[in-house]
């Protein structure tokens, strides 16, 4: 499985992804799921992928290929992030069309979902979730985060902490805790964690992190969070039972 999330706030956006891939429990490996297609100064484009690894790698390969061959349609020629999201959707459709009959007859899951976050010159920062069917939805001030993959374990912390007014630094911390909570509860999501924080109108990916299992910062926040949660729990008022 996989867990990726994106958060867009009034001051920027955050994208984060784990790196675990598993084909059954006896074939667990590490693959990067967060990709940077930015053109510094012009456009910032971050892509996260989840789903069938052969499909998601094919999509990323085709996106890179268009850039390399200077195709007229590529991440560096499209005018808006919405166009880029539709373009990713077209790639997903193309690959799925090609692979689907072969995978479907062996009952192999061929799903592929993507998050696309970025900012183009003259546009605000945006965040899209692109479905396996190639269509997409956009994060809004009312719903400032989008998730793909193993999304449920890490949602409560986002629901409690995040809003569109959250600082981008706090959004990054919250993303990290959301992934760490998921890793604790589900073995199919695992390190290293890739994290990128982007500030509106900077047009460069200035702040990024890759945190391995034993990274001192990850160990520290995990320990602190456990202690703080325990304290919060201990402060909860006792239950007043109704009796029989």
Q: Which residues of the shown chain bind a second copy in the complex (CB under 8 A)?
A: 152-157, 159-161, 169-170, 172-174, 176-177, 181-182, 184-186, 195, 197, 204-210, 217, 220-221, 224-226, 228-233, 235-244
Q: How far is the CB of 83 from a second copy (least distance, A)?
A: 27
CB of 24 to a second copy, least distance (A): 20
Q: Which residues pair with 48 in a beta bridge?
A: 34, 115
**Where is 168: in which H helix or E strand?**
helix 168-185
Whichever of 88 and 218 has its CB closer to a second copy, that residue is 218
The least distance separating a second copy from the CB of residue 12, rounded to whole angstroms, comes to: 13
CB-nearer residue toward a second copy: 59 or 117: 117
Angle, CA 109 vertex, CA 126 and CA 100 arms, to 5°: 90
**DSSP output for 190-242:** -SPEEEEEEETT--S--EEEEE-TT-HHHHHHHHHHHHHHHHHHHHSPPP---
d(CA 94, CA 200) in angstroms, rounded, equals 33
Q: Which CB sits closer to a second copy, 96 or 186?
A: 186
User: Residue 97 or residue 159: which is nearer to a second copy going by CB?
Assistant: 159
Work out how close the CB of 82 gets to a second copy at its nearest, in angstroms, rounded to a whole number: 27
């Amino acid at each position: 499985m996989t867990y990726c999330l994106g958060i867009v706030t009034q001051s920027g956006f955050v994208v984060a992804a784990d790196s675990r891939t598993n084909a059954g429990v006896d074939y667990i490996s590490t693959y990067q799921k967060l990709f940077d297609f930015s053109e510094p100064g012009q456009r910032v484009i971050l892509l996260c992928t989840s789903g069938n690894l052969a499909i998601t790698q094919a999509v990323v390969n085709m996106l890179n290929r268009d850039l390399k061959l200077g195709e007229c349609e590529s991440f560096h020629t499209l005018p808006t992030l919405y166009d880029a999201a539709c373009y990713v959707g077209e790639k997903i459709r193309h690959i799925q069309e090609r692979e689907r009959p072969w995978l479907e007859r062996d009952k192999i899951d061929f799903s592929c979902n993507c998050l696309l976050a970025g900012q183009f010159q003259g546009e605000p920062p945006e965040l899209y979730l692109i479905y396996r069917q190639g269509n997409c939805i956009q994060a809004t001030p009312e719903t400032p985060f989008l998730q793909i993959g193993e999304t449920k374990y890490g949602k409560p912390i986002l629901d409690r902490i995040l809003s569109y007014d959250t600082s981008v630094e706090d959004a990054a911390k919250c993303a990290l805790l959301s992934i760490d909570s998921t890793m604790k509860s589900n073995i199919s999501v695992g390190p290293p964690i890739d994290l990128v924080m982007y500030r509106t109108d900077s047009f460069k990916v200035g702040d990024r992190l890759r945190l391995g299992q034993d990274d001192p910062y990850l160990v520290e926040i995990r320990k602190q969070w456990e202690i703080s949660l325990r304290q919060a729990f201990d402060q909860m008022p006792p239950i007043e039972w109704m009796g029989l």
